[in-house]
Structure 1
């Protein structure tokens, strides 16, 4: 992404994994994807380290005997979104289940954004989202993960910017949230997301495609807000793809530049 293409972190990126590489879902034959296929999300490795050995897909327990057995309505409910901001990221969430869900949704957007590929912005994001005692560890791991070699494979320079005439796209939209554990001081929230990622521009070998994934965030109440202790990601649930004609690269780049992101809340 070029310097003029930053948009409040409301984008999505794919991260590398220190474990066995897992390629993205099949999207047809694309030469660069054969290379990028070895670059997958670091979030599973981060969660593994933060939780002391628990795998990224380990199921969480319910919220207790009073936990609902049926999913809540997907309609919009609850109070208005927060008005506070920590840099470009919403802050000041309520100390209840609804506040934890809203925090998790907004944090998921930031954690898989194109901005996190940029060294300066990455530092701001990590320090804004994570509990104080997790910042140094996560910042070091992300700096190592987003090495020059990794950025080269995405067609980005050392500052996380795309080549002239290209726009790197990585934007996420939460579809829904679910609390699986909750106390007054901690919460585990699953965020079901869809997103678009890739490079828009004439001649791009990594065209923008869509993806579906679920991010699990372990949150801690710290000071006056929810902060992230650890997070992990798994694929899906994904719907059947439609046969809708794909937009050209210029239309995608223009959409990313013109359509802003949201503050997410119940």
Structure 2
């Protein structure tokens, strides 16, 4: 879930900036971009329906939360501009023949190699975790924060995420204190990386853009926050810390997004069943 602003990719609910180095970290807050980015109107639609207005309202809340979480100092420089020469050019994401990482911590892949490819793999996996439904759960968030962020920012960013995903924020999403939907409903927040691009890389740091698509919302017959899809790009600033790539800051923006198809939308039961039966991936690249 992306906090708001142009950091935290879809402009989730918030944005965290490192007063010391310009590092940006988007957390949940409401804005028009981000995994919960603005929901686009279907072709041929007339006046916005009540459900569409509700979805847009939820998106704004998510972006606002992230923006709040990412609030801080820093020069706010564009992390997408890099000085990596050829490394900044788009390169195809294709199988390399290298074995995937074998480690896992808190359900998140770990032990990425200290290479550009390793940084891309880490960024893809971390983008999924940062926009997962688990990040909203108070009992799961500490493990995710501990696993993803550089050691000297764990406490700072963990506290900002706690404030961003407050009781009031969860209530507006229709979730309880534990980040769960009411009985008979399923809250969904799942992201799939489509591709990655390294814009900066050195021996101990890297900036990676992850192009993502995902589904977000609450599945259920009486849901006022129906599940919708979104396209966004998350930029993760990584640092080599403790023998692995860790997140030093992240941001988000809308798109690139394809034209919506005219395919019939699945009903709430189909969506809930799909999320339960199809597991997510823990390794990429």
Distance 1:70 1:53, change over 3 A: closer
Residue 71 of structure 1: CA displacement?
Answer: 2.5
Q: Deviations over 1:185-224 (max 9, x none)?
A: 0000000000000000111111111000000000000121
Residue 81 (structure 2) aligns with: 60
Q: Secondary structure at the residue paired with 1:39?
A: helix
Q: Secondary structure at the residue paired with 1:191?
A: strand
Q: Deviations over 1:102-154 (max 9, x none)?
A: 00000000001000000010111001100111111111111001111111110
User: Given the alignment of the two structures, is residue 25 of structure 1 paired with residue 39 of structure 2, yes or no?
Assistant: yes
Residue 26 (structure 2) aligns with: none
CA contact (8 A) 1:46 1:231 kept: no
Could you list the runs of 5+ residues in structure 2 that have no partner in the other structure?
Answer: 1-9, 17-28, 33-37, 42-47
Residue 62 (structure 2) aligns with: 40
Q: Secondary structure at the residue paired with 2:223?
A: coil
Give, in whole Å, the separation in 1 of the partners of 2:193 and 2:235. 12
Q: Secondary structure at the residue paired with 1:119?
A: coil
Residue 4 (structure 1) aligns with: none
Q: Which moved more, 1:256-265 or 1:153-162?
A: 256-265
Runs in 1 of length 4+ with deviation above 4 angstroms?
A: 18-21, 42-48
Q: Which moved more, 1:31-40 or 1:226-235?
A: 31-40
Give, in whole Å, the separation in 2 of the partners of 1:17 and 1:122. 16
Higher relative contact order (CA 8 A, sep 6+): 1
TM-score by length of 1: 0.87
Aligned residues: 250
Q: Secondary structure at the residue paired with 1:159?
A: coil
RMSD of aligned residue pairs (Cα, Å): 2.3
Give, in whole Å, the separation in 2 of the partners of 1:77 and 1:18. 34
CA contact (8 A) 2:197 2:208 kept: yes
Give, in whole Å, the separation in 1 of the partners of 2:92 and 2:151. 34
For residue 138 of structure 1, the aligned residue among 145, 157, 169 is 157
